[in-house]
Amino acid sequence: MEALTVFLAPRGITAGVREALTDWSGLGLIDSFIWIEPGMVSATRVNGLLVTAGNQDGVSLQSLAGTGSYDRIRLCVLVPGIAGHEQVDSSISQRIAEMLESSFGGRPVVRVRAVVARSGETAVLDGLAQGGWHNLVLSPEESAGPGLGHHQLYTTNDPFDWGVHAAATCAGVLGLWSGSTESLLDGEAPLPGERARLVRAFYRTMDTTAVGAELRDQVLSLGNGVPLPTYFGASAVYIEDSGLAARVMADQLWEKHGRSLHGEREHSAPQAVTAIGPWAAFKMMFGFLWAALKNAPRSWAQRVATRVKSETAAAVHGLVFGSAPSQYKVIVDGVDRDGLPVSWLEVREAAETLEKLLDDAGTPREHRAPADLASFWQDYADGALTLIDAGERVTALPPVQVGTQRAVLRRTSAAVPGPDSGFSDIPTPLAAVIQLDSLEPYDFLGTLSMEGRLQHAAGDPNLGIPASTALEALRRWKVVSEESYAVRVGTRIGQSLISVRSEVQQLLDQIRRAASADDMLAGVLARQKKLALWMKILLAALLLGLVVTAVLVAQETLDPLKGSGIGAGLAVVWLIATLLIFMNGQRELFHLMNARSQLLSDDEISRRNLSHALRDLHRLGGAYSQFLAWSRIIGTVLAEPFGRADDQARTQAKFVQGLPLNVKVGTATVQPAAVATAAAQLRHDIFAVGWLTRPWERAKATAGDLIGPRGYELTAHPEAIYRQSGDGELSLLRLWIGALDAAGTDSSPGQEIWAGVLKDITGPRSAISSGLVSTVSEVRDSAVVQTSLDAFMSGVDSTPDEGRLGHFDGAVLTDLARNAGRAAVERSVPFGSHSGLARQAGLIQLSGGIPQHEFLVARPADGNSWLGGAPQRASEDDTGGSFTMPEGPTF
């Protein structure tokens, strides 16, 4: 219920009330109010000061009536019971009350007249009580609590001393204190006749921000270890061999998804060895003999061996090597232009370039859909969450079991290291040389690259010492997280990329050898001339034998029949001998023909497999960039699943000086032992298996809003984030990482858990909260002291027994009234609220109705006016500019 509180006060000493209330408003101790003085009232306009959060702004009641919405309105007229001070004319107060009732939609107006009297004051007021108003006389006393001793407040002209006590009581009666939702006078009819009541008020507010922040930190923070979740009433246990658990989970993930990162391959069938038949042998032999006679045996051998041409292989190798020598060097030699070991980014870019070049070499072009790895990254995240909270998410990635109990890792970093776990111990000059300055702990390929580059730099005389030092630091750092789940998964992807790169190297080598297949003939061609010589000698021998035989037959020395037989025999011997020498001499040529045929047959498959391998290399590079991005995101969420802790909350203790004794503002003192005990009890009940599901789902659901306009597509479909690339200008993952680094994870899951904790410890388990706030720090005599909660409250948070409500100080009553027991407390009305561990409590005590003539500061009215002086006239100025700022206290 929103209420409008209006003070109407004369100028002068009442300024002390205004200043005290304004200061407390700035401290957040009281709600807003409006302050009006008679000089601010004109014939048609009522101006005032609106005090909110310590700020004073000019406002008119008419404009406020048109824009504000209030359920209840309270009007308090301050009546200083001090001689020589102005009073508010009854006509002004009556006019303002009626204007409030009519202008604010007929809302009821609680009319209060607060008479501030002090002990020993000689002034008297004409008409102390007024009909139709709640006439209250502030008891001139100061006490720490009900039923305790008090001391009188004597007459004074100090506006600050006078005002601070009056302000405290008025704030209590009017429900201005923080934690007070209503006033005890709301809905209560004023006393009949000219009667007034004594009143006193007590108020306590205890700030528990530091205690709450410490408890929240210990309950929700994972800095001191992962909580042991409960499962059917039993607690999980910690995993002792975290490396084994991480390796098994990574292996299970790879078993399910590893094949999605590799494309198809083609395999060549072994080339059948072609046997050379007799007729083919004779044809080849005579062909060679004819070439020998023409003195061209080498040309014949080359023509026979190169029936299958290698122009395609040569074109592919020439294009790859000639058009992209640097990319070729990256893939084959593994070094960049500066001679440094290449990074996986350079390998991925080189693969993309070479793949495009293959299209230009005749490989058919087609639209290639990017690999859909959404389920891979979803399962990767689920595996990390399961290692921390033992929840069942993916059948293939079950929780770790130790015996019959579920088990979790002790630290989130054993699953996925957080963003603060990176390595950056590289001097700036050295970082400029090796072109690397930092690493994430799960960046397997980046670590290999940095190690190689540091080793390379260590050989430089100018960089040897810093490079060796950095290399040693890198290796020590790597040991800390190399057994984590993220590193295991990154190693799997990185090793696959290295393996495919080696495959590309082999395929390029095969294509190179196919392109230079003609070089294989060099040795064979060198022996063709010698073989041709033997063939010529045999042919010459045959011809010589035939000539001799023919001469003998011609001379009739030899019988023609026998001569024919000898000639035929010589021809057969020559043919057999020539064939044997030819076949034996060309055995290497025949083997080379078959080998060359196999090589050139494999070349086409090698070129197609090269295209597949380059595509895999590019796919693995993209997957590795996604892996790095998802590891950063998951590591951030695991490090702070409930949002970032509010470090400023620990320094917001309020220590207020100058308060009256009946008002105390304290701060609960943090007691480490009590907080640790309470946190241990609460964590056991809060965290069940699968407790990380809510923070993770909330992180994904808010990613679109966190990213900004670019993340619009994720608002309706949060799961689309799994299909985003890991880097590049269009990557939403990179934008999400930047947003998480700047703003942290969504805190709503933590707020939900914390709200449940506060409800629990302020309800059925209130004993926990009592132990947390058992000691309070407060200002006493300009010094901060510690006291017990009971001593701080002094009974204000409980209603006194009806039989012993106590008495007011009767210094403002006549002897007759005191003897008649008019100073007795008739009612005690407590108020207050709990906001988590914080407490606001107050107590208002009232006497019964006392006739005004029984007050020392009152005398019977002899006129219609109860004022002590001449009535003030309203200003004639009707303009809106008639507002004047009230002056400060008048002494």
Coil vs helix vs strand at 325 = helix
Phi, psi (deg, nearest 5) at residue 520: -70, -20
| Spatial distance between the Cα atoms of 142 and 566, rounded to a whole number of angstroms | 156
Residue 524: both structure tokens together = 């064979």
Say yes or no to pLDDT of 806 above 50.
yes
Tell me the longest C-alpha to C-alpha distance in the chain. Answer: 191
Q: What is the pLDDT of residue 439?
A: 92
Residue 703: left (phi > 0), alpha (psi -120 to 50), or beta? alpha
Which of the four pLDDT bands, split at 50, 70 and 90, describes residue 850?
very high
Q: What is the pLDDT of residue 607?
A: 73
| Spatial distance between the Cα atoms of 250 and 267, rounded to a whole number of angstroms | 30
Residue 310 near residue 517, CB atoms below 8 Å = yes
Sequence letter at residue 105: G
Q: Residue 850, exposed/middle/buried by CB under 10 A (0-12, 13-18, 19+)?
A: buried
Under DSSP, the state recorded for 146 is T
Residue 172: both structure tokens together = 């209590």
Sequence letter at residue 660: P
Say yes or no to pLDDT of 403 above 80.
yes
Residue 887 near residue 11, CB atoms below 8 Å = yes
Sign of the four-CA dihedral 671, 677, 683, 686: negative
Residue 123 near residue 180, CB atoms below 8 Å = no
Compute the half-sphere exposure of residue 364: CA atoms within 13 Å on the CB side of its CA. 5
Q: How many CB atoms lie within 10 A of CB 461?
A: 6
Phi, psi (deg, nearest 5) at residue 221: -75, 145
Cα–Cα nearest to 403, from 236, 226, 225 = 236
β-pairing, 663-668 vs 195-207, is parallel
Cα–Cα nearest to 417, from 741, 636, 744 = 636
Q: How many helices (H) and strands (E) does the chain have?
A: 28, 23
Average pLDDT value for residue range 358-362: 61
pLDDT digits (tens, 9 = 90+) for 298-321: 565 555 555 444 455 555 555 555
Q: Residue 822, exposed/middle/buried by CB under 10 A (0-12, 13-18, 19+)?
A: buried
| Spatial distance between the Cα atoms of 437 and 424, rounded to a whole number of angstroms | 6
Average pLDDT value for residue range 406-419: 94
Residue 603 near residue 313, CB atoms below 8 Å = yes
Residue 332: both structure tokens together = 């084959």
| Spatial distance between the Cα atoms of 839 and 51, rounded to a whole number of angstroms | 24
Say yes or no to pLDDT of 648 above 50.
yes
Cα–Cα nearest to 627, from 615, 619, 638 = 619
Which of the four pLDDT bands, split at 50, 70 and 90, describes residue 359?
low
Say yes or no to pLDDT of 655 above 70.
yes
pLDDT digits (tens, 9 = 90+) for 77-118: 999 988 778 888 888 999 999 888 888 877 889 999 999 988
C-alpha distances out from residue 796 to 136, 702, 792, 805, 840, Å:
21, 45, 9, 12, 10
In this structure, of 168-182, 607-621, 631-645, the range with the lowest mean pLDDT score is: 607-621
| Spatial distance between the Cα atoms of 318 and 314, rounded to a whole number of angstroms | 6
Residue 144 near residue 794, CB atoms below 8 Å = yes
β-pairing, 230-231 vs 234-235, is antiparallel
DSSP per-residue letters across 752-786: HHHHHHHHHHTTTTHHHHHHHTSEEEEEETTEEEE
**pLDDT, averaged across the chain:** 81
Residue 591: both structure tokens together = 């083997």
Residue 179 near residue 671, CB atoms below 8 Å = no
Q: How many CB atoms lie within 10 A of CB 707?
A: 23
Please name the residues in contact with 380: beta carbons below 8 A apart, sequence gap of 6 or more.
253, 489, 627, 630, 634
In this structure, of 233-242, 323-332, 546-555, 697-706, the range with the lowest mean pLDDT score is: 323-332
| Spatial distance between the Cα atoms of 466 and 462, rounded to a whole number of angstroms | 9
Sign of the four-CA dihedral 783, 785, 789, 795: negative
Residue 653: both structure tokens together = 């203790």
Please name the residues in contact with 263: beta carbons below 8 A apart, sequence gap of 6 or more.
612, 615, 616, 619
C-alpha distances out from residue 60 to 66, 73, 95, Å:
10, 15, 15
Phi, psi (deg, nearest 5) at residue 859: -140, 155
DSSP per-residue letters across 535-577: HHHHHHHHHHHHHHHHHHHHTTSS-HHHHHHHHHHHHHHHHHH
Please name the residues in contact with 476: beta carbons below 8 A apart, sequence gap of 6 or more.
none
C-alpha distances out from residue 293 to 290, 300, 523, 546, Å:
5, 12, 21, 19
Q: What is the pLDDT of residue 237?
A: 94
Q: Residue 821, exposed/middle/buried by CB under 10 A (0-12, 13-18, 19+)?
A: exposed
Whole-model pTM? 0.73
Say yes or no to pLDDT of 598 above 70.
no
Residue 283 near residue 579, CB atoms below 8 Å = no
| Spatial distance between the Cα atoms of 419 and 433, rounded to a whole number of angstroms | 25
Residue 673 near residue 154, CB atoms below 8 Å = no
C-alpha distances out from residue 145 to 9, 241, 531, 569, 843, Å:
28, 60, 128, 146, 9
Sign of the four-CA dihedral 723, 729, 730, 733: positive
Cα–Cα nearest to 31, from 68, 58, 5 = 5
Coil vs helix vs strand at 470 = helix
Under DSSP, the state recorded for 274 is P
Q: What is the pLDDT of residue 868?
A: 39
Say yes or no to pLDDT of 144 above 60.
yes
Say yes or no to pLDDT of 363 above 70.
no
Residue 212 near residue 65, CB atoms below 8 Å = no
Please name the residues in contact with 767: beta carbons below 8 A apart, sequence gap of 6 or more.
none
Residue 208 near residue 837, CB atoms below 8 Å = yes
pLDDT digits (tens, 9 = 90+) for 251-302: 999 999 988 888 777 766 555 545 555 666 566 666 656 666 666 655 655 5
Which of the four pLDDT bands, split at 50, 70 and 90, describes residue 434?
confident
First to last CA, the chain: 39
Most confident of 220-224, 245-249, 344-348, 418-422: 245-249
